Structure 1
Amino acid sequence: MDAIYRTQRHFYDLTRKYYLLGRDRLIAGLAPPEGGTVLEVGCGTGRNLIEAAKRWPKARFYGIDISAAMLETARAKVAAAGLSERITLAQGDATAFDAAALFGVERFDRIFQSYTLSMIPDWQGAIREAAGKLAPDGRLDIVDFGQQERLPGAFRRLLFAWLGQFDVTPRTNLAEVIDSTASAQGLRARFTPLYRGYAWSARLTAA
């Protein structure tokens, strides 16, 4: 990841805003409880955490990323936004991380994964790991590339070929993995295609 993002991190946010659709929709719907905890898995440059912290000023925010280069950029952006006291960042593997050791928090009211699963080899493990760290009544929200199922085939082929240049693989069976994770962990599942299937949104909610 550091090899991929060592250079990209400097212009990542400028370019991604045009095609990582649904991120702000996810953030607007987080609605954490007052004093609640919010974790982003795969926080990248910190862009989403900063936007979420501004929108939900009474919550506490945490982020993990496996890339030290991305975290360097994220910490600088968080500091520049004046949010260092409300956003805590740490290096961690999305498929296996000790939240208590990293943050002193074992479970979270809200967890989100925004365009990260399409880059994580064991993406199913990343979903299970995050779902297992939900507090009672907590929620895991996901947005990522869909299968472009209601868009022209030529667009799909062009987009997927381009994404492949960056080791990005949209997950064809995301809905099935969401359902199986919900069944295994006693959660409620919801799956919603967005923008004619350009993006897919999923939610797991703890009882």
Structure 2
Amino acid sequence: MSATDTASHSNLMDGVYRHQRHIYDLTRKYYLLGRDQLIDGLDVPAGGTALELGCGTGRNIVLAARRYRGAKFFGLDISNEMLETAKISIAREGIAGRVALAQGDATAFDTRALFGETGFDRVFISYSLSMIPGWEKAVGAALAGLKPGGSLHIVDFGQQERLPLWFRTVLHAWLAKFHVEPRATLRQVLESECEKQAASLSFETLYRGYAVKAVIKS
């Protein structure tokens, strides 16, 4: 995204979540399925680093930091409103010393400038690609942010191909209210990136296609 587009999207997300951020985690736990499976599969090494793109309220970082106590975590989000909630959650958990947050665009970011890091052992993206304009660039940026031997972990909405049509219709209409669009070409984009970088892809559908989970190992 251009600087103008980034500012516009940041303002949009701030507007969407200015009030919703206070109830976001309570309401989203019922339909952002697969997030805990993603965290369980991160396997962040002791002394390692992990970056979440689109970290939102910090919910995933808090849970991951509890599980991988020897690791450092970093979070990037375009919404300052969401980052304010994340800071509160992280301070409450007592993990501020090993978590750093920054405001930025997931499609183009400088890890050294934002975090003082040249790369991460793990990068994870949970239900954010479906909200990011130019999301394909976010995938490329995430892979570029990995250390050699690192891995990218993704969970997001699938195409609900084995769920009733009425359910898909209602869900997509609901998601559109929050500027969310399941990415029909996600698997193809990930496969293409893997071919470019000689990386391996694990891709699976969850809950009859409701969600998808992917891991790219460099």
Band of TM-score, shorter chain: over 0.9
1:51-90 per-residue CA deviation (whole Å, 9 max, x = no partner) reads: 0000110111000001011111100110011110011101
User: Residue 26 of structure 1 corresponds to which residue in structure 2?
Assistant: 38
What percentage of residue pairs aligned between the two structures are identical? 58
User: Residue 111 of structure 1 corresponds to which residue in structure 2?
Assistant: 123
1:182 and 2:190 matched:
no
- Contact 1:132–1:185 under 8 Å retained in 2: no
Please give the secondary structure, in 2, of the residue aligned with 1:105: coil
Aligned Cα root-mean-square deviation (Å) = 0.7
Runs of 4+ aligned residues of structure 1 deviating over 3 Å after TM superposition are none
Please give the secondary structure, in 2, of the residue aligned with 1:197: coil
Deviation at 1:136, TM superposition (A): 1.1
- Contact 1:141–1:201 under 8 Å retained in 2: yes
Deviation at 1:99, TM superposition (A): 0.5
For 1:157 and 1:38, locate their aligned partners in 2 and report how far apart those are by CA, in whole Å.
35
TM-score, with structure 1 as normaliser: 0.98
Give the number of aligned pairs: 206
- Letter aligned with residue 63 of structure 2: E
Deviation at 1:185, TM superposition (A): 2.2
For 1:158 and 1:151, locate their aligned partners in 2 and report how far apart those are by CA, in whole Å.
12
1:119-176 per-residue CA deviation (whole Å, 9 max, x = no partner) reads: 0011000000001111111000000000001111111111111111111000001000
Give matches, 1:1-207, under 5 Å: 1-206=13-218
Instruction: Extract unaligned runs of 5+ from structure 1.
Output: none
Deviation at 1:8, TM superposition (A): 0.8
For 2:76 and 2:193, locate their aligned partners in 1 and report how far apart those are by CA, in whole Å.
21
For 2:173 and 2:179, locate their aligned partners in 1 and report how far apart those are by CA, in whole Å.
10
- Letter aligned with residue 139 of structure 1: S
